[in-house]
Structures are given as structure tokens and as C-alpha cells.
Structure 1
Amino acid sequence: MAVKMDTHIHTSFSTDSETDMQEQILTSYKKGLEGICITDHMDYNFPESALEHPVDGIPFCFDLDDYFKRIHTLQKTAPLSVYTGVECGMQLITDVVDKNKALCQDKEFDYIIGSLHLVDGKDPYYPSFWENQEPAECIQTYFEKIYDNITTFHEMDSLGHLDYIVRYAPTDYKYQPEQFREILEAILQTLIQKDLALEINTSGFKTPLSRQNPHEKIIEWYLALGGEMVTIGSDAHSPEFLAFHFDEVAVLLKKYGIRQYTVFEKRTPVFYDI
């Protein structure tokens, strides 16, 4: 395996995962990984109307003290490096922005991903999101929301799964990144200016897309604009998807001349050879 670190992993601290943290750690080791980062969801003010089913407690939020305690306990006996992270859900709501900025000040974290899962309080995961709008309009709005968010909130370390929304577009829609090049390049330029990494997220391989997010054309534009930092994460919510299609992504990155990927330790980028 050319990529030995998986820096986007969920556990039962995330509303949408039932996998115990210990199981993710042990399975990662069995798969040949040398390090992982636990990045459970912290999506403040996630509306219950955007959930498929009601949940106990506050959706997509967890107790930080319990989280850190669990990770630090498991780090002592883990057979590989375990980093402390979080996937921070971005929303342009003053209360959420303030909470996210405060979260990013917590010294316990090694790594923070900023991701957009909602558009105006609606989740693209559900078919109802796509009703009464052209897919291209939905996608354009999603990218504009990302741009607006990262110009307001940029205290994280990387941008997660940039064209994630396309996974859930109607099956007859043919996505072409070139159609959105202007807004995508604005996003990429902002990442570069703010010293933020671009995440290569492999969970798209388990959807009809059968590829990573973002599209390789977006990776090509990122490099052409001067981008250098890429993180690699499976976004695994269950053990079978840990390090998912990492070898394919390694080949893709080498195709574009990328020889290293980034892992954050105490919020500082460290580079590993592919």
C-alpha cells in the first residue's frame, strides 16, 4: 500500500456510524495502515428536518470530553499512530461560525476538516433536495456556499470532499466540472491563499460515481494554480471501507506529479511519500 495513513475516519461518536473506535483502530492495523485520524462529525445546529429518521440527543454533535478521553485511552495501546481530529460542518449561520471557530481553538486536535453537508438547511443526500431545481443549479449553489464559507471560516486544516454533492445528483445527470470551473477555481485559490489542504476523499468509490472526490480535473486545476497540500481519507463509517481504493488514488496522484500527501500532527502539516 502506497498510502499508509487514513485521515478521515468516523466512529460511533458520529450520528451516522455505529462502529466502535477500537474496531476502526484494529481493522486499520490489519489492513496495513501505519496511522489514522479519527474525525467524527461536529455539525452544529444540524436541523432535525434534514434527518431521515429521528435520533437520540443532538444530531451530529458529541461530548468533546468523552471523545478525547476515549481517543487518549486507546492511543496508549494502539498498534499504530492514532491522531485526534474532527469533521467540522460548515454553515453560514453566525452561531455556527462562532462555535466552529471556538472548536478550532481546542489544542487537543491534531487535524480539522471543514466540510459542507447542507445547503440552506437541506441535505443533498436525500432525493427531495433535488426536486424542483435543475441539478446544475443545485451544484452551482453548493459550490458558492463552499466559497462563501471558506472566506468567512478558514480556521480548519483542509476542505473535505469538495464535489461531494455530485454523489447524490439524479442518475441521468452528467456532471462536467468544466461547467463550474470559475467558482471551483475561486475555491481552490482561496485554499491556497489560506494555506488549507485539499482532501482527496475515497468514499465516492462506493457510490455510482466510482471515483474519488473531487474529480481529477479539479485536482489538476488545483496543482496548476500552485496548490501543494493534499490529504487522503476514506471517510469510512464502517471497517470495510478503511483505506478504500487508496492504491488507485496513489496512482492518480502520481499521474499529476504528486509524490507526497499531508498528515496533520498538532495542526502542523507533515509530508509523507506516496
Structure 2
Amino acid sequence: MLNIFDSHSHSDNSPDGHHSVTYLCEQAVEKGLMGLCITDHCDIDIYKRDNFELRMINSNFEVRKAQLFFGDRLMLTAGIELGQPLFDPALAERALGLLNYDFVLGSVHVTRGWPDYYEVSYKGRPIEEVNAAMDAYFGEVLETAKKADFDSLAHLTYPIRYISGRDGIEVDLRRWDDLIDEILRTLIARGKGLELNVAGLHNGWGQLCPPKEIFARYRELGGEIVTLGSDSHLAQDLGVGIAEGMEVLQSCGFQYFAFYKKRQARMLGIR
């Protein structure tokens, strides 16, 4: 069994997921993972349109059933990726109160006046427009870090996946150093974690989200809670890149990473 706990995965209860909870668990066991958290999407901006309440109920039920079946072969926890919680704080509170979650990932995929960043082609766009999109993103993330109910902040620098990783547009993140520092300080002050999202290592883009430099800064500021996630939407991607992510964390001075049970951080040694 590998000392790998994948805290970010999606079943077919997510609109963009492809495999059942049971199949994900089977594959996690076959890969030798220690643990897995199913964090199916719950996007507040399209909560009713995409029937996320039913999706969450199904996901949670399937996870609880799988926990009984897989027993001590896999440490399985029930999570949620809560997207855009500040678009409707009351609805976000309702969503979190509906079920008992072990782990809540807070995420921002959409900002007001800008669609999901993965839906946009950035090729040929003026750099001023790209920078404005990033301004909106970091502003929304900062407010989310300050106000939303979550345990760990997912994939900080999310738009860079598509702006740079997919479309090849170089963006200098130093432009937002002050905003990023404020986000990191807010997470630390509130006792929230920061996710190292390794999806870029299995989708061909070769990028961590956020990059190593931000984790080095997070550690320098006193950050201690880090979760690791493959952000897999396919069973084949479960756990992929997490060992490499641990090496990055270790090089930044981290000795532990976290997973969550009953919304409490449990620390595991990086080795």
C-alpha cells in the first residue's frame, strides 16, 4: 500500500465524471492507494440547472455504501467540491448542511461576467484581456478564502491550466504577488488548507496548480496544511502525479500532508 491519499476525485455523479464510485474504489485498491476522497462537483452558480442536490445525495450514498464493502482495504471518505460558493451563500450553506461530509474543497471556476475558464479559448486574445480575466479570478478567490465555508482551497491558479497549459499563452504570475500573498495569509489565519493539484501531470500539460513557487511562499508565511489531489475524472488518473507532488512539497520544507475525516485535518508524513 502506498502512502498516497488522493483528496480530489470525481465519479459519474459529477457532470464531467466518467466512472462509478465502486469502480473508482476498485481501481484505487488495485493501484495500492492508501485512501481516496470522492469530491463530486457542486457548482452553486448552476446548482438548480444541473440538479446538484440529487447528484450530491447519490454520490454520498454511494460512498457510504462503498465504505462498507471496501472496509480496511481503502480509506474512503465523502467529500464535495463546492464551486463558486459566494454566488449564493445561502444556497451554499444549504448544500453543505444537506449531508455529512468529511471534506469540503472550495473552488472557483467561474467569475461574474466571465464563463468557466476552461470554456474560453485564449489564443489570439490581447494580453490585457487575459490579465483582466486573471484579475477577476484572484479577486473572487480572495473573497472566497475570506468568507466561504470549506476545508482546503482547490487548484489556486486554475485559469493558468488553460491559458498557459492548453493554449500556450505565457502569463507572469508575479503581477498578482500581493493578491496571492493575501490569499495565502487568509488561509493560514482561518486554519484552511491549500491543495496541490497535480492534474497537469497526467493531462499532458506538465504543470502543478498552483506552481511550486506558491507552495514555497505558503510555507515561508507559516502555512502547514496541504492536501493532494489528482482531480481525476477517469479511474486511470487516480493518484497519478501525487508521489511527484510529495517531492515538490518536501523540497518546499513540508514534512506532512493532510487528508480530512469529519472535516478535521489528519496529517500524514511525506515519505
Name the TM-score, length of structure 2 as normaliser.
Answer: 0.89
Structure-to-structure mapping, 1:184-263, within 5 angstroms = 184-207=180-203, 209-263=205-259
1:139–1:165 CA contact under 8 A, matched in 2 = yes
Q: Distance in 1 between matches of 2:257 and 2:187?
A: 16
Task: Kindly provide the amino acid, as one letter, of the partner of residue 120 in structure 2.
Answer: P
Shift of 1:251: 1.1
Q: What displacement does 1:62 show?
A: 4.2
The question of whether the paired residues in 2 share the 8 Å contact of 1:5 and 1:263 is answered with: yes
1:124 aligned to 2:117?
yes
CA distance in 2, matches of 1:228, 1:2: 22
Q: Is the CA contact 2:152–2:193 (under 8 Å) kept in the aligned structure 1?
A: yes
- 1:13-92 to structure 2, matched below 5 A, reads 13-46=13-46, 58-59=49-50, 61-63=52-54, 64-78=56-70, 79-92=73-86
- Asked whether the 8 Å contact 1:122–1:129 carries over to 2, the reply is no
- Which of these residues, 106, 113, 117, is aligned with residue 114 of structure 1? 106
| Counterpart among 138, 143, 163 of residue 143 in structure 1 | 138
What residue in structure 1 maps to residue 153 of structure 2?
A: 159
- Bigger helix fraction: 2
2:259 aligned with 1:267, yes or no?
no
* Preserved CA contact (<8 Å) 2:10 2:38: yes
- Tell whether the 8 Å contact from 2:53 to 2:95 is kept in structure 1 after alignment: no
| TM-superposed deviation, 1:74 | 1.1
- When structure 1 is superposed on structure 2, of 175-184 and 128-137 the one drifting more is 128-137
Residue by residue over 1:196-219, the C-alpha shift from the partner in whole angstroms, topping out at 9 and shown as x without a partner, is 000011112244541211111111
Return the alpha-carbon distance in structure 1 between the equivalents of residues 52 and 170 of structure 2. 34
- Structure 2 unmatched ranges of 5 or more: none
* 2: CA distance, partners of 1:124 / 1:260: 31
- Normalising by the residue count of structure 1, what TM-score does the alignment of the two structures yield? 0.89
- Sort the Cα spacing of 1:175 and 1:10 in 2 relative to 1 into closer, same or farther, 3 A: same
Matches of 2:154 and 2:51, distance apart in 1:
16
Deviation at 1:151, TM superposition (A): 1.8
**Is the alpha carbon distance of 1:197 and 1:177 closer, same or farther for their aligned partners in structure 2, counting shifts above 3 Å?**
same
How many Å apart are 1:188 and its aligned residue?
Answer: 0.5
> Aligned with 2:243: secondary structure?
helix
CA distance in 2, matches of 1:146, 1:248: 26
Partner letter of residue 100 of structure 1? A
**Cα pair 2:35 2:75 within 8 Å, conserved:** yes
Q: Distance in 2 between matches of 1:247 and 1:211?
A: 14
For 1:88, what is the secondary structure of its paired residue?
strand
Q: Is the 8 A contact 1:107 1:266 kept in 2?
A: no
Partners of 1:110 and 1:265 within 8 A in 2 = yes
Paired-residue identity, %: 26
Which residue does 1:52 correspond to in 2? none
1:156 touches 1:196 (CA, 8 Å); kept in 2?
A: yes
Would you say how many aligned residue pairs link Structure 1 and Structure 2?
262
